[in-house]
Amino acid sequence: MTPRYIWFPSGRRPSREVMVGHVGLGGSNPVRVQSMLTSDTMNTEACVKEALGLAEAGCEIVRITAPTVKDARNLGEIKKALLAAGCDVPLVADIHFKPDAAMEAAQWVEKVRINPGNYADSKKFKTREYSDVEYAAEIDRIRERFTPLVELCKERGVAMRIGTNHGSLSDRIMNRHGDSPAGMVESALEFARIARDLGYHQFVFSMKASNPKVMIAAYRLLASRLAELDAAEKAAADGSSYEGWNYPLHLGVTEAGDGEDGRIKSAIGIGSLLADGMGDTIRVSLTEDAIHEIPVAKALLAARDLRTPPAEIAGRAFPCNDPFSYVRRPSAPLEVNGLKLGGEETFRVFTTADRWQALAHKIDRLGDFAPETTVETSGVVELDPRDEAAISDLNHSAQAHLVTVRDGLDMPVITAFRLLSLRLDARHPILLKDTLGDFTSAEGAAGDFLPCLLRAATNIGALLCDGIGDAVLVRGEPAPGQSLRIAYNILQAAGARIFKTDYVACPSCGRTLFNLQETTARIKASTIHLKGVRIAVMGCIVNGPGEMADADFGYVGGAPGKVNLYVGKVAVKFNIPESEAVERLVDLIKEHGKWVDAPAREEVAV
């Protein structure tokens, strides 16, 4: 298995330039921002209006679904209308299931997105063993279906995204590689090899998942595999020219949801990889109007900490014991002010003494968002992770200590805590912080909510997904209640501490069979109190059945006005009228013993 590494990037991952119309991805280009229309593709006027709004907001590439040949043909009318309005934003056709729709779309747009999981396969969730000969025959079948599109895109100068989704891996991949990052990577590479054999290189990769841990692992594994393939091809070329495997990466967390939760989940996934030096274009997927995705994407890019790590670690990778999968860093359990943390104990939420005092009059009514202890009374040891003598002294101490990175260091937060975890004995638990700055002054306490939220989610969330950390402290957000809510929501989104209902909700698009925003709000109103239950809300079947594997229950559009309900990835109720579907979902949760009545206690909003 490929070893997992703690990586200290010295800069952005190098990649070739791929042109999407007049917009360059990769190479020396900035990281591009894109989004996707929610309007029906056959409604030309609505699509043009929405695309113009996105372009004005700073969206550099616009994606539109093309579920049928008829929809794909109408992309030409949308393109014509946009050009007539003076807008030359490149268009991307989003293709699932229909190679003929991809062939039509490639006549009109600058880029075609295909999903390797369903471009030439229909998912049936069948279990079977493939011999090497049978597997090779399947690849030949895919090559036959995929080659015409590659040849057309090559002829017309159309770019392509080979976009793997965790929720829609083919049965072939699932049976040989499992529902895993390794399967996601191989799914994309199968199509990339065909494209390269045909002399086509104008493509980018994506590895999307609703679970940030899976998404991060898949992109890191892909980058590692591409680097290995590149090095092998370069060595085989023996000084002659070679094409290489340094293709650009499109970053995104799919089905992130809405509101603060959707922004946090997106920041954990996208922000973590940007901090790793990866990413050439990003899309934030929110269950909201697409226009709201652009400020979040731009804020994520603005929040990147581009400082170079210390010279002794910059550009280096240090091996860990675990492959590309999540394993929590081992530590000895400690008791801090009556709280157990470290080891396999619950991830704890700290606050500062002044914030505790500010909330003292209502702490008993903060419910799930109450602080658990203060950093000043915790006995935490603050260290510079570059101070080898101090770390050596701590490592030689007889007892375990709670440790954190000292404030005021000129280092990126993620780099500092990764280095600390690398050099610190595993028995010492770690307290994570969102910032190493001084937020005791009036100047330090000032800041807009969105940048503070995204910075905290990126820094703490990335480390949690690395398996680092046993407690968290959010200080960048000055409001005491809001800082606690952010801390708990980061733990929830990273899967570190589940304290409320978890929702997987896809962004709307032209395939959506009901109003996702209104439906998600109704489902939340009925189920928000079900701690630890995971509910997926999907507008159509593209990723629905696959993402159900990560959810306890699913609410999926099956036909206009009709909903299918799932338990796990199995559909159990079909063609339920939309007006009854939320109530029937509640009944299904009750049938499976996951329902509890909402508590009557009064809580204080934070």
Task: Of 461, 585, 449, give the one whose Cα is nearest residue 522.
Answer: 585
pLDDT of residue 314: 65
What pLDDT sits at residue 514?
Answer: 67
* Average pLDDT for 583-604: 80
Does the pTM surpass 0.95? The reply is: no
Instruction: Residue 436: name the closest of 384, 483, 392 by CA.
Output: 384
Confidence of residue 3 (pLDDT cuts 50, 70, 90): very low
Q: Are 172 and 135 in contact (CB under 8 A)?
A: yes
How far, in Å, CA of 58 to CA of 48, rounded? 15
Q: Does pLDDT of 322 surpass 80? A: no
Res 2 pLDDT > 50:
no
pLDDT confidence band for 7 (50 / 70 / 90):
low
pLDDT tens digits, residue range 385-425?
Answer: 999 999 999 999 999 999 999 999 988 999 999 999 989 99
Average pLDDT of the chain?
A: 88
Lowest mean pLDDT among 178-187, 363-372, 595-604: 595-604
**For residues 450 and 370, what is the distance between their CA atoms, to the nearest angstrom?**
22
Show the tokens assigned to 125.
């969730």
The per-residue pLDDT for 604 is: 46
pLDDT number for residue 547: 55
Residue bearing tokens 């369903």: 118
Q: Is the pLDDT of residue 579 over 50?
A: yes
* Cβ atoms of 594 and 533 closer than 8 Å: yes
> In order of start, what are the domains of the chain with their CATH numbers?
23-91 (no CATH), 115-236 (no CATH), 316-493 (no CATH), 502-591 (3.30.413.10)
- Please report the beta strands in 275-354, taking only residues with DSSP state E, as ranges in sequence order: 281-282, 316-323, 334-336, 339-341, 348-351
Comparing 200 with 577, the larger pLDDT belongs to: 200
Q: What is the mean pLDDT of residues 26-40?
A: 96
* Averaged pLDDT for residues 572-588: 88
Span 78-107, pLDDT tens digits: 999 999 999 999 999 999 889 999 999 999
- 3-class DSSP state of 327: coil
pLDDT band, very low/low/confident/very high, at 507 (cuts 50, 70, 90): low
Mean pLDDT of 1-26: 79
315 pLDDT tier (thresholds 50, 70, 90): low
Is the pLDDT assigned to residue 123 strictly greater than 80? no
Give the pLDDT confidence score for residue 142 in this predicted structure: 94
DSSP H helical ranges for 399-505: 413-423, 442-445, 449-465, 480-493
CA atoms in the 13 A half-sphere facing the CB of 150: 20
Distance CA 210, CA 30 (A): 26
User: How does pLDDT run across 373-387, given as a tens digit for each residue?
Assistant: 999 999 999 999 999
> What value, to the nearest 5°, has the Cα angle with vertex 146 and ends 140 and 151?
120
pLDDT attached to residue 168 = 83
pLDDT tens-place string over residues 161-173: 999 998 888 888 9
Question: How do strand 562-567 and strand 553-559 relate by DSSP bridges?
Answer: antiparallel
Range name among 110-119, 289-298, 469-478, 576-585 with the lowest pLDDT average: 576-585
